[in-house]
């Protein structure tokens, strides 16, 4: 799964440059040109990292960052702040506000990509690791093997992709629409109840003697992988 980067930047040329370079580096991107839209996209799309311009209209990058950090669901979201020269005295404040890293404009795009990769390695080791594990479930990505409590689990390709996605972010709740986008892709038309069908198959496959149901159904919201589900 390619990491999803949210770019919050109000200057169209800068935005386009960032988008182009992120996508060339094999990231997926979503774009916001002001702070309020950035916060909305953080909720709706659950990006893996936020590239945040300091100077945004109305709500500043600092305020966006503060709000992201203030909420438990988004507290751990990695944030890279982009600042212009002359704002350097404020840099420290930027880090105090909770940005994980910052770059001063003009910066090299290669440097930004390197910083993003470094942060993602810390926040989502699943992106680089060969194995994912949670709640007794172990997934070996390369060999496509899955086990639970050391018992081999047989999964179809869709259930494998779904479990992989959920294992990358245990505890987080995903709506049917988000799972559709992530597991089937945005351009594929699948009815949302298809997600329920595959979740049911995944549940059955993971139903090992003595092990609790690990997939939590959140009424009206979606699904999560959660050891405290039952
Ligand atoms: Ca700006």
Domain termination site, one of 94, 125, 156? 125
Tell me, yes or no, whether 151 and 38 share the same domain.
no
pLDDT of residue 204: 94
Spacing, Cα 44 to ligand 1 middle (Å): 23
Q: CA–CA separation, 207 vs 213, rounded Å?
A: 7
Domain containing residue 118: CATH number: 3.40.50.2300
Q: CA–CA separation, 96 vs 25, rounded Å?
A: 29
Spacing, Cα 47 to ligand 1 middle (Å): 20
Number of structural domains (the chain) is 2
Tell me, yes or no, whether 206 and 117 share the same domain.
no
Task: Identify which of 96, 65, 99, 54 has the alpha carbon closest to the alpha carbon of residue 80.
Answer: 99
Spacing, Cα 68 to ligand 1 middle (Å): 19
- CA 96 to chain centroid: 23
Spacing, Cα 141 to ligand 1 middle (Å): 40
Kindly report whether the peptide bond that precedes residue 54 is cis, defined as omega within 30 degrees of 0.
Answer: no
Helix ranges restricted to H, 101-168 = 109-123, 157-168
Domain containing residue 216: CATH number: 1.10.10.10
Q: Which domain holds residue 95?
A: 4-125
Q: For residue 92, tell me if it sits in a domain.
A: yes
Q: For residue 199, tell me if it sits in a domain.
A: yes
Task: Output the tens digit of pLDDT for each of the chain's 230 residues.
Answer: 789 999 999 999 999 999 999 999 889 999 999 999 999 999 999 999 999 998 898 898 989 999 999 988 888 899 999 987 666 555 555 566 688 888 888 888 888 998 898 888 777 766 555 788 898 999 988 778 999 999 999 999 899 999 999 998 888 899 998 898 888 877 777 788 899 999 999 999 999 888 888 999 988 889 999 887 55
pTM over 0.75, yes/no: no
Tell me, yes or no, whether 12 and 30 share the same domain.
yes
pLDDT of residue 230: 53
Spacing, Cα 55 to ligand 1 middle (Å): 4
Tell me, yes or no, whether 104 and 138 share the same domain.
no
Tell me, yes or no, whether 36 and 110 share the same domain.
yes
Task: Identify which of 35, 110, 105, 44 has the alpha carbon closest to the alpha carbon of residue 74.
Answer: 44
Q: For residue 230, tell me if it sits in a domain.
A: no
Task: Identify which of 97, 70, 69 has the alpha carbon closest to the alpha carbon of residue 81.
Answer: 97
Q: CA–CA separation, 50 vs 22, rounded Å?
A: 12
Tell me, yes or no, whether 120 and 10 share the same domain.
yes
Tell me, yes or no, whether 117 and 139 share the same domain.
no
């Amino acid at each position: 799964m390619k990491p999803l980067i949210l770019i919050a930047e109000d200057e169209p040329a800068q935005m386009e440059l960032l988008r182009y370079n992120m996508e060339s580096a094999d990231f997926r991107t979503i774009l916001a040109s002001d702070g309020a839209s950035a916060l909305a996209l953080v909720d709706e799309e659950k990006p893996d990292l936020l590239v945040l311009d300091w100077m945004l209209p109305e709500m500043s990058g600092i305020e966006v960052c503060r709000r992201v950090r203030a909420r438990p669901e988004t507290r751990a979201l990695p944030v890279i702040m982009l600042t212009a020269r002359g704002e350097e005295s404020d840099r420290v404040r930027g880090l105090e506000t909770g940005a994980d890293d910052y770059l001063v404009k003009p910066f090299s795009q290669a440097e930004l990509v390197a910083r993003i990769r470094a942060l993602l390695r810390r926040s989502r080791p699943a992106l680089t690791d060969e194995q994912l594990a949670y709640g007794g479930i172990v997934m070996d990505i390369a060999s496509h093997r899955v086990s639970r409590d050391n018992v081999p689990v047989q999964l179809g390709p869709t259930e494998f992709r779904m479990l992989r996605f959920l294992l990358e972010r245990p505890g987080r709740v995903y709506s049917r629409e988000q799972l559709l986008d992530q597991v089937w892709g945005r351009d594929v038309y699948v009815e949302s109840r298809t997600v329920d069908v595959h979740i049911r198959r995944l549940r059955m496959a993971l139903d090992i003697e003595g092990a609790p149901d690990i997939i939590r159904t959140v009424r009206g919201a979606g699904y999560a992988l959660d050891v405290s589900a039952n």
